[in-house]
Chain A
Amino acid sequence: MMKEFRGIRAIWRRELIRYSRERSRILTSIASPLLWLVVFSSGFSAFTIGSGVEYQTFLFPGILGMTILFSSLFFGVSVVWDRQFGFLKETLVAPISRISIFFGKALGGSTIGMIQGTIFLFLGGLFGIGLSIPNVLLVLPILFLISLIIVSTGLFIGSHMESFEGFNLVMTFFTLPMFFLSGALFPLNNLPAFLLPLTYINPLAFGVDALRALLIGTSQYSLGMNILVLLAFASLTIYAGAWAFKRQK
């Protein structure tokens, strides 16, 4: 048991070291959401949403969710990467269960997602998002939870893919619908009715809603409800990811 735990920690640590050495990954993951924020909010700044919230403010948690979506889903490529560079073999012959390997990677990816979200959150200070300390402390676990769900999904996909091309292809099928049906850009009740059911199976919709509840105080569902649904999604995706790793060769 102790051994498994140490293995998980070793894998987690490796992911963080790799992250800290890939400056470009850090930069792009912060620059691109900022760009979105600037472009969108300046273009639509005249709009206010429902209860008098400015669009810029409304948008912020959405783009925060997007940051996490893109970086976390893409984290799945690290499995493909490890396989291509042969490092996967080094982990697979170690006396650590496949499930622990999955957990090491998933926790590594979620930690990275959370760090990126946090950096972005602080940049949000510039956009006048009221960042009070207790809020931030509550937001962190939510960021982690959202990351965990999406990273697990990414790892599930990655462990079935042999090539980068294949991975990227599948990625596009996931990211765009997940993003547009998450309520990141506009309130979900503006969606045509036939699309609405799709938002119920989109974890990011609940993630963004939870972030809104915490950061700007308006949300579709209650925070508790969002967290419950996110936890359910997390168990599901973790189970799927761990299963995929178990049959990994």
Chain B
Amino acid sequence: MKSVIEIKELTKKYGDLTAVNRLTLSIREGEFFGLLGPNGAGKTTLISMLCTLLEPTSGSATVNGAHVVSESDKVRQSIGVVFQDPSLDELLTARENLEFHGRMYGMNEEEILKKSDDVLDLVELSEQSHRQVKTFSGGMRRRLEIARGLMHTPKVLFLDEPTIGLDLQTRNHIWKYLLKLKEKHKMTIVLTTHYMEEAERTCDRIAIIDRSKLVVLGTPSDLKKSIQGNVVRIKTKNGKKELAKKLERVRGVTYVDIYEEGIAVSVTHGSSFQQILKIVSLKKFAVESIETHEPTLDDVFIHYTGKEMRKDEPYSDAKLAWKAGVR
């Protein structure tokens, strides 16, 4: 398949800090591509470079055949972005924000009217469309930003944590709509998210980035297969290192990953559960819980980054982001 984004040895440094480190990646046309990684991994920095807002320190990238530095005007012809941070005009009404966007992207007034009705409907803001954005709640603003991103139909759509802070129902609506768009227009979508189920359900391929580097790339099912066997998760705070050492020696154990809240062990068939249980039940480890399951993307994430994805509390982060923006 043709690739629409080509990234070669792309690097961005902020002073001494390397936010993106010699990243090489190609994203295919019509693909739903997920960028996952813990906070500060460099996802937003990468997207900023791809949408020409940030100049790379070294390396190169092309979007739809145009170089992001030397042909930035051409790149902007083919992209759409939903930013992680707030980017609405609060004095304008919801509809005025959409109209502004449509006009900037060369849509005619008739198209603008029709499309804004559509997207407002999608994010359930039709009733509030005449209200100034400054009267909106955090979630409403986020929905409006997504709606705005969907106003025009770009070749490549970047979504930087688009659904953070939104309720499940709205999220589902949006994903359905995006999948339809992708089918209909062969649109390429590049997504960062902290919701694993979302990534698993929607993405054709996923790249996990950790500490500025690409650590693994593949389809969700390939990634899960890379964790051989089943996963045993042991929650504990005490003596994680010692416990890990002991578990590593058990027959049939392929990986032992230490992460913030405990230890994840992957076990193949025929491994000795009895031995694992024996080790785990030693008093000194004060194990809080133990469970076993088939590998999920969460396990993949822990395996490659040593961190668990934030799961249920991202809403508070969204609220914080809005506060920072409002001041």
Given contacts A7-B103, A17-B96, A86-B325, contact A92 B53 (CB under 8 A): yes
Complex: chain A residue closest to B101, CB-CB: A90
How does the 8 Å CB contact mask read for B88-124 relative to A, with 1 for contact and 0 for none? 1111100010011101111000000000000000000
Q: Give Cα distance in the complex from A140 to B291, angstroms.
A: 77
Additional pairs, 13, CB under 8 Å, beyond known A95-B106, A96-B76: A14-B89, A14-B92, A17-B96, A18-B92, A85-B90, A85-B325, A86-B83, A90-B83, A90-B101, A90-B104, A93-B51, A93-B81, A95-B104
Binding site for B on A (CB under 8 A): 2-3, 6-7, 9-11, 13-14, 17-18, 21-22, 84-87, 89-97, 249
Contact: B81 with A17, CB < 8 Å? no
Contact: B86 with A85, CB < 8 Å? yes
Within the complex, the shortest CB–CB distance from B268 to chain A, in Å, comes to 48
Q: Give Cα distance in the complex from A93 to B50, angstroms.
A: 10
Q: List the A side residues contacting B101 at CB < 8 Å.
A: 90, 94
Q: Give Cα distance in the complex from A89 to B51, angstroms.
A: 10
Q: Choose from B85, B88, B104, B327 the contact partner of A7 (Cβ within 8 Å).
A: B104
Q: Is residue B79 contacting chain A, with contact meaning CB distance below 8 A?
A: yes
Q: Give Cα distance in the complex from A249 to B69, angstroms.
A: 12
Complex: chain A residue closest to B145, CB-CB: A90
Q: Is residue B153 contacting chain A, with contact meaning CB distance below 8 A?
A: no
Complex: chain A residue closest to B326, CB-CB: A85
Q: Give Cα distance in the complex from A84 to B86, angstroms.
A: 10
Q: Which of B63-83 contact A (CB under 8 A)?
A: 73, 76-77, 79, 81, 83
Complex: chain A residue closest to B54, CB-CB: A249
Q: Give Cα distance in the complex from A13 to B100, angstroms.
A: 9
Q: Give Cα distance in the complex from A22 to B55, angstroms.
A: 35
Q: Choose from A10, A21, A92, A97 the contact partner of B100 (Cβ within 8 Å).
A: A10
Contact: A3 with B76, CB < 8 Å? no
Complex: chain B residue closest to A19, CB-CB: B91
